[in-house]
Chain A
Amino acid sequence: KAGVTQTPRYLIKTRGQQVTLSCSPISGHRSVSWYQQTPGQGLQFLFEYFSETQRNKGNFPGRFSGRQFSNSRSEMNVSTLELGDSALYLCASSLGDKGGQETQYFGPGTRLLVL
């Protein structure tokens, strides 16, 4: 079974631009979560989607948004990029049918550099 895939793997943007990252979950998984990883803050939860609905959200500004499609693929968008948004963005998928208490499998991440 193929794992979680993320595209693109690397991205360079400038301040003020916006960016869209994509995540394809493991086949059969309906929950997709997004995390930001930085050296200073570590791994932090952004949001989680299940059946095209956001079920949970972390403490990030509204510039960070996401969506999920009917095939469970998910995208996250960051508008008006800031230097501090440079990070590894990871998505994780899980079945989604156990009320959120279940194992999550991570993709390789998208490394975003904001100049």
Chain B
Amino acid sequence: QKEVEQDPGPLSVPEGAIVSLNCTYSNSAFQYFMWYRQYSRKGPELLMYTYSSGNKEDGRFTAQVDKSSKYISLFIRDSQPSDSATYLCAPISGGYNKLIFGAGTRLAVHP
């Protein structure tokens, strides 16, 4: 079993939709949870991160962590075609700066 599971999609939604992206993880020691966005042929770009359980909002993006169920979510409101990318969840392992990436979910927002 992988440490981080993420549905690779693809997920196709119309412009303006609310998008929900999710990951599950197995290691209860994870405390920091990152979300990265990766456009085709580019490096991952940090979207936001959360520490422990709870919500964090940044503009149209909301990250949620539920440590009791080991579930990570990213919500995108009013999705735009420019949001079309692969979204990667990545908890940090206890070791120095070791990100454990999910497979990434490919999102397509069509006009």
Contacts and interface: CB of A to CB of B under 8 A. Distances in A.
B16 to A, nearest CB: 29
A31 B97 contact: yes
B42 A103 contact: no
Q: How large is the interface on A (under 10, 10 to 19, 20 to 34, 35 or more residues)?
A: 20 to 34
B97 A33 contact: yes
- Per DSSP, chain B at the interface is loop
Contacts of B42: 108-109
A44 B93 CA distance: 12
Interface stretch (A11-19, A63-71, A79-87, A93-101): A93-101
Contact of B100 (A45, A48, A94, A108): A45
14 contacts: A31-B97, A33-B99, A42-B101, A42-B104, A90-B43, A96-B97, A100-B98, A101-B92, A103-B46, A104-B46, A106-B43, A106-B45, A106-B46, A108-B42
Interface of A: 4, 31, 33, 35, 42-45, 48, 50, 55-56, 58, 90, 92, 94, 96, 99-109
